[in-house]
Structure 1
Amino acid sequence: MASTFPTNQAIVVGGGLGGMSAANTVVENGGRVVLLDKSSFCGGNSTKATSGINGAGTKTQKAKGIPDNAEIFTQDTLKGGAKKPELAKLLCVNSADDVDWLVEKFNLDLSLVARLGGHSQPRTHRGKERFPGMTITYALIQMLEKVAEKTDLAKIVTKAKVYKLDA
């Protein structure tokens, strides 16, 4: 049986940083999204992150004169034991655009850049807050909540139980 699900709609399962990033991206590109989270509120484990978010070749790094790029980040990641090189490379190649998107679209302060374990360059971006994961994730949650309140482009369902998704 052919799918009748419209191509400009998406279902996102999970309301952490990954799910919220996906849901906001769908809306930003003109689609509609339903986000499902099993908890009574969104955020997931991302809200507990204390280090920041990694990006190589970001506008912040360039402004600070940090000579980093996706190739160096990929080498560092593979040295760290990444099991799927193609996924590691994808993560690293997209990392600068991802961090810059968070700064520009969500008005986040990620101006502090630190070098953490396994990195040959400073690339962990954060602001001055104690829990940058919470700050980043909540900014994405708030944006999607505003869209859901004002339009029919987004819907957030908490305490959701997903048993089966068919294409």
Structure 2
Amino acid sequence: MEVEEGSVGKKIKIGVCVMEKKVFSAPMRQILERLEAFGEFEILYFGDKVILDEPLESWPICDCLIAFYSSGYPLEKAEAYAALRKPFLVNELEQQHLLHDRRKVYERLEMFGIPVPRYALVNREVPGQDLDCFVEEEDFVEVHGERFWKPFVEKPVDGIFGLK
């Protein structure tokens, strides 16, 4: 980011394009309070009404953008805003689409050598579809010959990892 002439003493505007339930969470408040404590940043909260209802051309203009996906968040709209205004992105937006598919997340983690929990995938065309690779018994399920003892946690592919 280039420093404009006459910008001495000007605060850097950080846009927080996050659903309100996340903005007001304790961890996010801690991060933002620490940024404000430096005295060099102005925090601009977009808010749910702006994010969901306002055209992106009327969103606040910022130098830096913090934006991340949660349930109901219009990620494509945030991407369009970033393309229009070109703020410095604190976190990548495009990569957040990964969160829509648990299989892609696990694949990416494994690609970088990051441990993931033991898991198996059962892909059905329709709910309850019989598959040769899947066997369910009273106290276990078996997927591709690998046994998982009950109880276990079953999650949908499009689970958002608690980011709701």
TM > 0.5: no
Greater Rg over alpha carbons, structure: 2
Between the two structures, name the one with larger relative contact order (CA 8 Å, sep ≥ 6). 1
Normalized per residue, the structure richer in helix is 1
Length-normalised TM-score, structure 1: 0.22
Length-normalised TM-score, structure 2: 0.22
